[in-house]
Each structure stands twice: as C-alpha cells, then as structure tokens.
Amino acid sequence: MTDAPDAVVSAFEAERRRLLHRQWIHALLGVGITSVILGLSFHQSQFFDPEIGANPIGRILEFLARMAPHLRTEALLEGREVDGSLASWFYDLPGWLAALWETIEIAVVATVFGAVAAVFASFLCARNLMPWAPVRFLVRRLLEAIRTVPDLIMALILVAAFGAGATAGVITLTIATLGGLGKLFAEINEEVDPRQLEMLDAAGAGPVSKIRFGVLPQVLPNYASYILLRLEINVAAAGALGIVGAGGIGLELQRAITYTEFSTYLAILLLMVLVIFVIDMTSEAIRHNLLLRAEKS
C-alpha cells in the first residue's frame, strides 16, 4: 500500500513522537525513583556490605554444606550411637515429635476458641444482624487492629504476662484467629439470604433464634472451610511461637541454633515441614469435600 496519503503517516509519526516523549519521561522517572528506593533498601540490608553482602551465593553454599548431615551409607540404618547413621542425625526424634504434637495442640485449641470468638464478633459487626452502627464500627476496628499487629509481637507481650510456655502461645493464636476469621465470618453473614430472616421476623423470632434458624444453617459450611484453612495457618504459625518462648517445636529449633547444631536444625525443619504438609493436604481434601457438598445442597 503506497497510494495512501502521506499526511496520515506524518500525523501518525507526530503523535507517536509525542507519546514516546511522554513515555520516556514516565519510564525514566519510574525507573529512577524505583532504583533509588530499592538501592537504598538493599544497601540498608547489608547487600553492599563487603563482608556480608559479598559473594552471597558462595556463602549460602558454604552454609548448606554446614547444614548437611554427616551420613555414611554403610551405617545409615545403625543405632543412635553409631556416627553417620540416620538415627544419630535424628537423635532426639521422640522429643521432637512430642514438641510437634504440642505445636499441633496449640494450633487446634487456639483455632477452636478463636473460631468461637470470631462467630460472636462477626454477629456484632454484620450489617444485617447488628442494628447499632457504633458497635459494628468498634468491633470492626478492633478486628482490624488485631490483624495489623504481627502475632509474634503479640506473643512476646503474652509470654511476658503468662510466662514461657504453651499458654501464651494458645492465647496469641486465639486472638490472631479472632482477627482473621471475624472479618471473613462477618462477610459471610452479610451474604445471608434476607428472605429467611424476614420470615423469622414475621414469625416474631428474637435475635437468638434468628441467628440459630435463619443464619447458622446457611453459613456453617462456609465457616467450616475457613476454620480448616485457619487451622493450616495456625499450625505453621505455632511452629514459630517457640522461638519467642511460647511453646512447641520452635523451642527445639532455637536450641539447635544456640548449640550451632545446623544439621539438627535441618532435621527438625524437615520434620516440621512434613507435618505441616500432611495437615495441609488432609485439610485441603476435606475443604474440597465441604465445598462440593455445599454446592449440591
């Protein structure tokens, strides 16, 4: 096509130059600002520190080598006393499993209490169930505040109050669960079919029976799937609590680091990851099932 008017082409080129010019300015500004911010961030994070930031890959490799367990193929299945056996790597397996069980208990107990608290909180801040706006506002802000404070910071304060041990961990995760689930439950509550509530209103039902017969039957499957999801999150979170003294496997991790037993750390880490993985897969399967059943009904 060469017979088209050249005016079209020159108009196009002029417009293109104008746009390109603007794009360049935007790109330069964007790239400039971003790289300054990121540069400062990496500088602050010691990435340009000649001692720490230099050769990070090499240091990671060196470190991985230190983490690798000392294993000998011929002694792999020998007892705990034999150097190079699997049993000597996992030398305190019963103790670690007990600590992991404690972690799971912390997560389960906290999920149960947190979920119950979240149900109450969610009724207090759902628009269709709580007529007083100030209450809704306060409860919502409170839940938001809980979600903002990292749970480990909460755990630090609670360990100071309750002493080292699982109690502080349970309370931390209960509060965190309240914050997380409360918001989700409130959203579910607000999607409840209003006709059923109107029917109960017409029948003269009080607020408690309205919730019992109008809301709960509709929301329970959704609640259940969120509670399971939260349980997964809580098991993982509980794994870290011990590091600040709030019980569970984290304490063993902390101990391994204190004695610079890096291969022990790896052993416990693998064990922990395995448990979390199994719980995640199980809970995912159950949630999937719940979802299917909720769709059918």
Partner 1 sequence: MLELRNISKSFGETIAVDGVSLTVARGEMVGVIGRSGSGKSTLLRLINRLAEPTSGEVLWDGEGVSRLKRRDLRKWRRRCAMIFQQFNLSPRLDVITNVLIGVVAERPLAMTLMKFFPASDRADAIRELDALDMGQTAFQRAGTLSGGQQQRVAIARAMMQKPDMILADEPVASLDPGNAEVVMKALQAAAGARGIPVLVSLHSLDLARRYCTRIVAMSKGRIIFDGSPSELSAEIVDRIYSAGANRNPAVHLAEVGAAA
Partner 2 sequence: MMNQDATPLPSPLPGLALRGLLTLGGIAALIAMMVDLGISPVALAGGFTKLGVFLLAMFPPSDGGDLPRILKSLLETLAMALAGTTLAVLVAAPLGFLGARTVVGQPAFHFLFRRMLDFFRGVPVLVWALIFVAAFGLGPFGGVIALAVADIPSLSKLFAEAIENCDRGPVEGTRAAGGSRLHEIRFALAPQVAPILASQSLYYLESNFRNAAVLGIVGAGGIGFELEERIRIFAFDEVAFIVLLYMVAVALLDSLSRRLRSALA
Which residue ranges make up the site for partner 2 (CB under 8 A)? 37-38, 40-42, 44-47, 49, 52-53, 56, 59-60, 63, 66-67, 102, 105-106, 108-109, 112, 145, 148-150, 152-153, 156-158, 160-163, 165-168, 170-171, 232, 235-237, 239-240, 243-244, 247, 250, 253-254, 257, 260, 262, 265, 269, 272-273, 276-277, 280
Among 13, 62, 144, 191, binds partner 1 (CB under 8 A): 13
Does position 14 interact with partner 1 (CB under 8 A)? The reply is no
Decide: is 1 part of the binding site for partner 1 (CB under 8 A). Answer: yes
Residue 1 binding result from partner 2, partner 1, none, given CB thresholds of 5 to 8 Å by partner type? partner 1
Q: Shortest gap between Cβ of 61 and partner 2 (angstroms)?
A: 11
**Could you say whether residue 274 binds partner 1 (CB under 8 A)?**
no
Q: How far is the CB of 31 from partner 1 (least distance, A)?
A: 16
Stretch that binds partner 1, among 11-19, 41-49, 84-92, 150-158 (CB under 8 A): 11-19
State in angstroms the smallest separation of the CB of 255 from partner 2. 11
Q: Which does 257 bind (CB under 5 to 8 A by kind): partner 1, partner 2, none?
A: partner 2
User: At closest approach, how far in Å is the CB of 21 from partner 1?
Assistant: 13
Between 16 and 70, whose beta carbon lies closer to partner 1? Answer: 16
What DSSP string describes the chain? ---S-HHHHHHHHHHHHHHHHHHHHHHHHHHHHHHHHHHHHHHHTTTT-TTTTSSHHHHHHHHHHHHS----GGGTTS-TTSTT-HHHHTTTHHHHHHHHHHHHHHHHHHHHHHHHHHHHHHHHT-TTT---HHHHHHHHHHHHHHHHS-HHHHHHHHHHHH-SSHHHHHHHHHHHHHHHHHHHHHHHHHTS-HHHHHHHHHTT--HHHIIIIIIHHHHHHHHHHHHHHHHHHHHHHHHHHGGGTSSSTHHHHHHHHHTT-HHHHHHHHHHHHHHHHHHHHHHHHHHHHHHHHHHH-
**Closest distance to partner 2 from the beta carbon of 169 (Å):** 8
| Spatial distance between the Cα atoms of 28 and 31, rounded to a whole number of angstroms | 5
Interface with partner 1 (CB under 8 A), residue from 15, 144, 187, 193: 15
